């Protein structure tokens, strides 16, 4: 990899440019569909009964947006290749794109059909029912994601105890978890530690807590397992357990449900206020679907700092949990430095950028907090 390609700031800059460009194009397309009359004309052309019109409209518009977005997906792949983050062959990339497109299409058709059925059945209260249905669906997907969705794109393998290095690591992690459950018997069960075969497609490393109930598990990428010593993996594992202990998955679902509530209420207001001006045949006219999507997109942009701040607070608590459980911040600090190197992360972005765009505290912020914790507990860092 060239010196230029190894520059985290250049990598972050290109990713940001891609995200901004594709986002602006999507917003402009939504506005054009509404203001040009194209959405009305398409809905009229597809008319053949309300249910059929919704189905065809979602499919046609979805295909259009996917075709417009295809160059941006290719641009993103080229960025990953140029900066040495991509390990995925072209055929595998196209296959993943096909699977993602089919999955997104099925979900979009189901969401559109359900929402417009509610709009026709309860034009004044549809948004409350839609909020309830979407929230329930989100919870179901959170539970089924690790066993249905993730395996569509990545191989997953349960890590098992044994006599080799992997087995010793698993024993260590399970012993840590058992100790925490002994201290807190009400701690929900964790149903496994899984290897996430990320390395087949990316040079990046990561770990996560996923699932609800019997699908709750910690997944650790093979790239992290291969690159890190046991004490760093344990610190990252305990960080993920911190999310488990604090109920962060449920917190996140609750926050997202609140966003759905506000979004559907605003969508109802927008449809009522602008249907006449946009030439729609009432709030249940499928030609108004771009307006609903636009409302959610603008709400997401407006609340982006709050959403990211909410997640960053959970990440700080999980870091603190790792420090407190181990009695030292050193392993997690070392692990964060290693992750930054592997993921080509921008160590210390501008403050505005971290506040506005980062769902995790920057690596520099997390390391400073770790060092402050270490100093406040009267121990010095051996490295980092």
Question: pTM for this one?
Answer: 0.90
* Residue pair 242/348 in contact by the 8 Å Cβ criterion: no
Which domains are seen in the chain, by residue range?
Answer: 8-153+250-302 (no CATH), 156-246+309-376 (3.30.2010.10)
Provide the token pair at 249.
């998955």
**Quick one: pLDDT at residue 39?**
95
Which residue shows structure tokens 């460009």?
A: 21
* Residue pair 226/87 in contact by the 8 Å Cβ criterion: no
What is the rounded CA–CA span in Å between residue 174 and residue 197?
21
**Quick one: pLDDT at residue 185?**
77
pLDDT over threshold 60, residue 4: no
> What's the whole-number mean pLDDT along residues 127-139?
96
What is the tens place of the pLDDT at every residue in 304-337? 999 999 999 999 999 999 999 999 999 999 999 9
Non-local (6+) Cβ contacts of 286 within 8 A are 43, 50, 53, 54, 57, 112, 116
Strands lying side by side in the sheet with 207-210 = 156-158, 193-196, 217-221, 207-210
The contacts found for 348-354 with CB under 8 angstroms, 24 or more apart, are 349/12
* Residue pair 210/141 in contact by the 8 Å Cβ criterion: no
What is the rounded CA–CA span in Å between residue 6 and residue 11?
8
**Quick one: pLDDT at residue 318?**
96
* Residue pair 59/109 in contact by the 8 Å Cβ criterion: yes
Closest C-alpha among 198, 207, 211, 205 to residue 148: 211
What is the rounded CA–CA span in Å between residue 255 and residue 262?
11
**Pairing, β 193-196 against β 217-221:** parallel
Q: With bands split at pLDDT 50, 70 and 90, how would you rate the model's confidence at 1?
A: very low
* Residue pair 152/103 in contact by the 8 Å Cβ criterion: yes
Average confidence score pLDDT of the chain: 92
* Residue pair 255/90 in contact by the 8 Å Cβ criterion: no
SS3 content of the chain, % helix, strand, coil (to 5): 70, 5, 25
Closest C-alpha among 53, 109, 35 to residue 294: 35
**Quick one: pLDDT at residue 2?**
44
Provide the token pair at 15.
């990713």
Provide the token pair at 42.
């398409």
What is the tens place of the pLDDT at every residue in 83-117? 999 999 999 999 999 999 999 999 999 999 999 99
């Amino acid at each position: 990899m060239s010196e230029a390609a190894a520059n985290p700031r250049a990598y972050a800059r290109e990713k940001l440019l891609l995200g901004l460009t594709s986002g602006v194009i999507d917003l402009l397309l939504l506005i054009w569909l509404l203001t040009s009359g194209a959405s009305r004309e398409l809905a009229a052309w597809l008319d053949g009964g309300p249910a059929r019109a919704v189905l065809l409209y979602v499919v046609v518009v979805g295909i259009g947006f996917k075709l417009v977005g295809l160059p941006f997906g290719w641009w993103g792949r080229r960025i990953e290749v140029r900066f040495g983050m991509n390990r995925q062959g072209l055929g595998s990339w196209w296959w993943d794109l096909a699977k993602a497109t089919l999955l997104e299409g099925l979900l979009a058709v189901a969401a559109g059909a359900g929402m417009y059925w509610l709009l026709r059945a309860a034009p004044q209260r549809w948004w409350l029912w839609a909020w309830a249905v979407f929230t329930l669906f989100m919870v179901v997907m959170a539970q089924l994601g690790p066993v249905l969705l993730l395996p569509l794109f990545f191989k997953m393998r349960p890590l098992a105890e044994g006599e080799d290095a992997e087995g010793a690591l698993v024993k260590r992690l399970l012993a840590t978890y058992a100790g925490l459950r002994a201290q807190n018997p009400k701690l929900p069960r964790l149903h496994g530690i899984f290897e996430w075969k990320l390395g087949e497609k990316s040079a990046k490393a990561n770990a996560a807590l996923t699932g609800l109930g019997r699908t709750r598990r910690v997944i650790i990428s093979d790239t992290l397992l291969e690159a890190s010593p046991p004490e760093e993996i344990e610190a990252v594992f305990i960080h993920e357990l911190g999310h488990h202990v604090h109920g962060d998955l449920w917190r996140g679902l609750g926050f997202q449900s609140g966003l759905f509530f506000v979004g559907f209420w605003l969508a109802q207001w927008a449809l009522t206020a602008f249907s006449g001006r946009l030439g729609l045949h009432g709030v249940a006219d499928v030609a108004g679907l771009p307006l609903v999507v636009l409302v959610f997109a603008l709400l997401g942009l407006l609340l982006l700092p709050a959403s990211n701040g909410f997640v960053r607070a959970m990440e700080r608590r999980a870091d603190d949990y790792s420090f407190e459980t181990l009695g030292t911040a050193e392993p997690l600090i070392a692990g964060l430095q290693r992750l930054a190197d592997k993921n080509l992360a921008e160590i210390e972005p501008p403050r505005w950028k971290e506040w506005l765009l980062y769902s995790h505290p920057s690596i520099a912020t997390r390391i400073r907090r770790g060092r402050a914790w270490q100093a406040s507990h009267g121990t010095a860092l051996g490295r980092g």
